[in-house]
Structure 1
Amino acid sequence: MNKHHPDTSRLRLRRCIAAAALGITLTAALPAQAEPVQLNIPAQPLASALSALGSQANLQIIYGQDTVKGIRSHGVSGTMEPEEALRRLLEGTNIQYELDGNNVTLTSAGNDAALEMEAATIVGQAYSSASPMDGYVAKRASVGSKTDAALIETPTSVSVVTRDQIEAQQPKTVAQALRYTPGVNAELAGPQFVTDQLTIRGFQMGTGRMLRDGTRTFLPDFLGWDAPEPYGLERIEVLRGASSVLYGVSDPGGQINLVSKRPTTTPLHEVQLQAGNLDYKQGAFDLSDALDEEGIWSYRVTGVFREGDAQTDHITNRRQYIAPAISFRPSNDTEFTVLAEYQKQTGNFANPLPASGTVFRDPRGRLDRDTYVGDTRYDHMTNEKTSLGYVFEHRFDDIWTVRQNLRYSYYRQDSSELAVLSPHFLDPSQYMRYFDQREGDGRLFTVDTQAQADFATWDIQHTALVGFDYNNGKFDQQQALDIVAEPFDIFRPVYGQPLTFLPFSTADYEQKLSQTGVYAQDQMKIDNWVFVLGGRYDWTSDQRDDRTPQTQKDEKFSGRAGVVYLFENGLAPYASYSESFLPTIGNTPDGSQLDPTIGKQYEVGLKYEPNDYNAMYTIAAFDLTRENLVEFLPLGGVRQDGEVRSKGIELEARAEVLQGLNLIGSYTWNDVEVTESNTGTEGNTPFRVPEHMASLWADYLVQGGALEGLRIGGGARYVGSTYGDSANSFKVDSYTVVDALVSYQLGRLDSSLDGVEVALNASNLFDEEYVAGCFSNMGCQYGQQRTVFGTVTYNW
């Protein structure tokens, strides 16, 4: 053991106390890594420099936040022993260290109780973008690079919704969890619990194209009725902008990566009960621990049962969710984690309403938010999802690391629903409806294999990545679409009556999708400069067997380039260019195959990571164009002349302003315009895309006194006006809603209640009635009414 302090025994004791307070076990440390390693750590805040040292030298570093607060390091570069690098980073400070194997403990000189009195921070090998973390300010993420990269060094816009934020705000869908994220219109279809519908930078993104632990879900539209369970997530990472160089087929607006909860080697036991208005009830549990004394084997199992009424009459949503996982970590260099998941969702989609009576006042009045246009005699929906996979990582040496993520998923859907079609041709005051019946299933296999090399050439530190991924899916569906003969009076609905169905269309088809991609990326550090270059080549195949069988194959190269400069005061300006592509099946009138739609984005921005408190601020300006959009011609056929341009500015602030006081703020200006079209929409704005959005959330946990353990919080969300159809024939008003939180740790009152917390959450506290968005004059959906629910959580 190497020492650099006056009193070894006291520091050992403080270190054990800190480890116990954090709930970590520092066992099975590797032998001290005395051999020299190549390092390139620019001058920067000491906390960031320590994080870089831990990553590059395979060290785990523990320190109190006040120990490094406001201190900058001089930086180190070259080949040297890790301890020598640590000495140089701490040079001129009043900080002592103890090095034991690969574990480092830092304390301020003369402050023997430092780690006992303050919250400790761990950086280095034990911290990654998939690890649990405290607070709302994430400093690392994988979605922007496929490596465990610091956000300050990533030349693109990335937001992270942490586990602590999810627990505080208690979202029931991924869309709700993204309410306070810039660039994301999270609830454009109102309160839906069977699917997530949202836009990123003006482009729609469905659940079927989200990532799970870095791998694609890759669902076709008809099986996209999937709503991942946020209680089963460790974090949600949002990459805004084109990203095919990392993930292949993708929407131009960005990517959402859902990071699963993983086993911990320390005891984690949580049970939770919730109840609220709309007859809402939920029970949940989250259990994790080591299975042996060495922590080589560990497990986690997470489960949810939820039942509650939708704000739309006659719809009750039920969810059963369970996610077991087991990890094998024979050393700090190797991890193999098996992740399984089963989810069953029953209920129904809250079908849209006409603009007359929602956006506009109908002569007969205004439609209530709970208006139901279906019929319980015919409506039902069941979605089931089962998945099994693993994440594997092994570090061979100081240079080479390999990873592989693999997942097999099975989806099943059975649904039928009645929805409004148009005003009735005999009586325009009443409506025609259609009856949509679907039954389908799908199987999806995905695998992503990567090799990462960390090395130096002269004064350039490289993090090079090469990889191969493969996705293969087979999906089957049977669908029948009928017109309902009887007129429907939406203001005075009558349910349970016999209906006459007039067959309109049927479909019975099979779809096979596959994607193969190879990619390479290099993140280069030269003094304070960070450069990122990447390229990828994809081969895709889409085969559909129905009344008109089609097979389409595409191949496409995607590129990316970016640069960041790291100033010593924490500022980091950056610029980047990136591309995306999305295959389109079909043919033009001359018989030629449709080309993929492509996205091209230019972005510049500024990130700021202060030296003296825990925060991250970002401002980004972007110009994103989507080309080769398919347009349906009035006399039949299609053309690929469409183009949409999205440009804007996004601001985000995430900060722990004071101890216990958290702040999240965002603002979005997004100007989206159809720049090329042959259908008369040139110059228009796509529907359900606001020009302005803003949000602010703050909460405070009282640190002492009679109210210690009390947390109060609240937020406000503003979404600007949107157009209600592609012709821009009408507008939907803007809206502002307020959310609130109050919680209390009962253990502050009585030690026998340690671990028990009660909370009360309210969404849309003042019960603002508003239309969330429309896609036509028959397609408008109300926003979420006021919801209030209480939570009792017990941790032990």
Structure 2
Amino acid sequence: MKLDKLFQSLLLTSAIALLLGTPAKGEKVGEDVRETNNNIPQLSEIELPATSAMMLVQTPTNSPAQGDIIQVTGVQAKPTDKGVEVILQTPVGEQLQITNRSEGNNFIADISNAQLRLPSGDAFTFRSQKPVEAITEITVTNLDANTIRVTVTGEAGLPTVELFDSDEGLIFGLTPAATAMQPEPEQPTTETPSAEADEPIELVVTGEQDGYRVPNTSTVTRTDTPLRDIPQSIQIIPQEVLRDQRANITSALLNAPSVRNTAPSNFDALRLRVRGFVSTPTLNGFKESNVRVSNVGSDLTGIERIEILQGPNSILFGASSPGGTVNFVTKQPLRDPFYFIEATVGSFNFYRGEVDLSGPLDESKKVLYRLNASYRDQEFFTDFSKTTNLVIAPSLSFELGKNTNLTIEGIYKTLDQDNYNLGLPVVGTILTNPNGKIPRTRITNEGDLDVTTGMIAYRLEHKFSESWSLSNAFR
């Protein structure tokens, strides 16, 4: 269609030139008309216009001319009795076209035929942080080439906005949500100055640590030093891990590398190995004299955390293995009341109950108590195997002075094991037996264990200053 119009235009131009006697381009006066016709280009010789050239001459119909843009040469925010006024300074404020909406606590107004420009022609942005109470921010900026956006953010809710025209320009009257909802208080006729109003207010914020990270400990190194400053391998398994994992000794020690309880699964006695060496555990820094009758139960009743010191540094606790030592720290009385009761039922007739009670015994909270107790009755997959275990661990704390504290604690434990499994012989399990294969549930020994242990200890602490203290313990 474009080629047809171009061809018609060429023919019409040549015809007008012949009638008026005006030579066309490439034509000489007085020559034969045939020569002129020969100078008319063929269709194949016509160079077609590019499509991009047609786009360059098109002008969008919805884009205003440069002269229609209203320039806002300044913005001001003035506090008022009701809130604040935002003034867009322009001599033709009544010609501004405004479209507003709200999003949450934000009032948004778009002015589609204006720009923020200083008298010098430079664009600018206006922003006011907390101009008045209950309004967080006011922002006026150029959204695009011909649009100004006004954004007002309320603190408690959407502010109320009124529009006014004045000689200064367009005015946004902003009233915060709190001011709009509440009536204005009556002003007292007389004011009495108060000295308390000028006094500073002290705010005390308390928080509780909720995590598995332990920044420091004083039991392992005997000094109150952050762990990051100690050039030793120390692992702390805190109460949060023991509680969330519902752990016993065997599962709790899996959180520390190179530390395991190698006792059989139905064995309540401890057989600890640290870095491959047999290690005797300690309780609050005191070595357990007999592992089989240890005051530490397999279900960690009354244990607050487990501290592991690896390597030859375990000599700090006396004669010990070069692999390291495992120290169990008992739970201490609390100043605030705390009550915990739990009951557990499982397979193989497993029944267990536990209580953990703590709090003050007097109003001044100078005498504190804590009682941990548990009872477990359990059978196993092996024949005639059964274990009963009772642990009672009370403790009392006395504040003898401002910097002096005395703690008395004890442990009572009874352990009764019937036909605990010591393993099966190789003949009848791995090797053939003329009498047949031995079942896995068979008990081939008659081992029983009936142990009652008790412990009482005290710890006396006195602080001379922030840097010096004295601690004496006996068990």
Normalising by the smaller structure, the TM-score range is: 0.5 to 0.7
Per-residue CA deviations over 1:287-318 (Å, capped at 9, x if unaligned) read: 10011222111101111011011333211100
> Could you tell me which residue of structure 2 aligns to residue 260 of structure 1?
330
Output aligned runs, 1:438-457, within 5 Å: none
Per residue, is there more helix in 1 or in 2? 2
Deviations 1:179-222 (A, max 9, x none): 22211133x333033301131101122xxx21111112233x77
**Is the alpha carbon distance of 1:402 and 1:371 closer, same or farther for their aligned partners in structure 2, counting shifts above 3 Å?**
same
Match in the other structure for 1:175: 250
Structure having the larger proportion of residues in strand? 1
Q: Is 1:142–1:149's contact at 8 Å kept on the other side of the alignment? A: yes
Aligned to 1:283: 353
Paired residue for 1:145?
221
Instruction: Give the 3-state SS of the residue equivalent to 1:177 in structure 2.
Output: helix
> Larger radius of gyration, structure 1 or 2?
2
1:361-400 alignment, distance < 5 Å = 362=432, 368-375=439-446, 379-400=447-468
Letter in 2 for 1:166: L
Query: Does the 8 Å CA contact 1:275/1:282 hold for their aligned counterparts?
Result: yes
CA offset digits 1:368-424 (Å, max 9, x no partner): 44331124xxx43111110000122110123420001211xxxxxxxxxxxxxxxxx
**Structure 1: gaps of 5 or more residues:** 1-97, 107-114, 122-132, 408-796
Report how many residues are paired: 274
Out of 197, 222, 231, the position equivalent to 2:271 is 197
- Cα gap change, 1:273 to 1:224, in 2 (>3 Å): closer
Residues 293 and 453, structure 2, Cα contact 8 Å, conserved in 1: no
Q: Identify if the C-alpha distance between structure 1 residues 332 and 192 changes in structure 2 by more than 3 Å, giving closer, same or farther.
A: farther
For each residue in 1:217-247, what CA deviation from the matched residue of structure 2 results, as whole angstroms up to 9, or x when unmatched?
Answer: 233x776697455021011111111135411
Q: Is the 8 A contact 1:296 1:331 kept in 2?
A: no
Paired with 1:151 and 1:338, the residues of 2 have a C-alpha distance of 28
Cα distance between partner residues in 2 of 1:226 and 1:290: 26
Tell me the SS of whatever aligns to 2:250. helix
2:363 alignment partner, SS class: coil
SS of the equivalent of 2:254 reads: coil
Summarize the Cα distance change of 1:334–1:367 in structure 2 as closer, same or farther, 3 Å threshold: farther
Task: State how 1:702-713 maps to structure 2 within 5 Å.
Answer: none
**Alpha-carbon deviation of 1:162?**
1.4
Q: Percent identity?
A: 27
Report if aligned partners of 2:288, 2:295 keep a CA contact under 8 Å in 1: no
- The aligned residue for residue 130 of structure 1 is none
Q: Which residue of 1 aligns with 2:317?
A: 247
- Relative to structure 1, the CA distance from residue 222 to residue 306 in structure 2 (aligned partners, 3 Å threshold; closer, same or farther) is closer
- 1:398 alignment partner AA: E
Change (3 A) 1:294 1:247: same
State the Cα distance separating 1:263 from its structure 2 match.
Answer: 0.6
Asked if the contact 1:214–1:405 (Cα under 8 Å) also holds between the matched residues in 2, the reply is: no
Contiguous gaps of at least 5 residues in structure 2: 1-199
Distance 1:260 1:245 in 2: 21
1:233 to 303, 311, 314: 303
Residue 136, structure 1, aligned to residue 231, structure 2: no
CA RMSD of aligned residues (A): 2.8
| Change in 2 beyond 3 A, CA 1:394/1:318 | same
Alignment match, 1:158? 234
Query: What are the within-5 Å matches in structure 2 for residues 607-626 of structure 1?
Result: none
The equivalent of 2:286 in structure 1 is 215
Give the 5 Å matches for 1:482-561: none
Corresponding letter in the other structure for 2:422: N
| Displacement after TM superposition at 1:331 (Å) | 5.0
Letter in 1 for 2:448: H
* Separation in 2, partners of 1:201, 1:226: 21
Distance 1:299 1:99 in 2: 36
Over 3 Å counting, the alpha-carbon distance change for 1:368 and 1:266 in structure 2 is farther
**Deviation (angstroms), 1:329:** 2.2
Between 1 and 2, higher relative CO (CA 8 Å, sep ≥ 6) is seen in 1
Q: Where does residue 84 of structure 1 map in the other structure?
A: none
Residue 244 to residue 199, structure 1, CA distance change in 2 (3 Å)? closer
Q: TM-score, with normalisation over the residues of structure 1?
A: 0.32
Q: Against the structure 1 CA distance between its residues 145 and 271, is the aligned structure 2 distance closer, same or farther, given a 3 Å change threshold?
A: same
- The structural deviation recorded for 1:362 is 4.4
Normalised by the size of structure 2, how large is the TM-score?
Answer: 0.53
Distance change (3 Å), C-alpha of 1:190 and 1:139: same
For residues 324 and 379 of structure 2, what CA distance do their matches in structure 1 show?
Answer: 32
Structure 2 match to 1:724: none
SS in 1 for 2:301: helix
Per-residue CA shift, 1:492-515, capped at 9, x if unaligned? xxxxxxxxxxxxxxxxxxxxxxxx
CA apart distance, 1:146: 1.2
Deviations 1:109-166 (A, max 9, x none): xxxxxx7xxxx24xxxxxxxxxxx6432222223431123221112111111211221
Equivalent in 389, 400, 406 of residue 336 of structure 1: 406
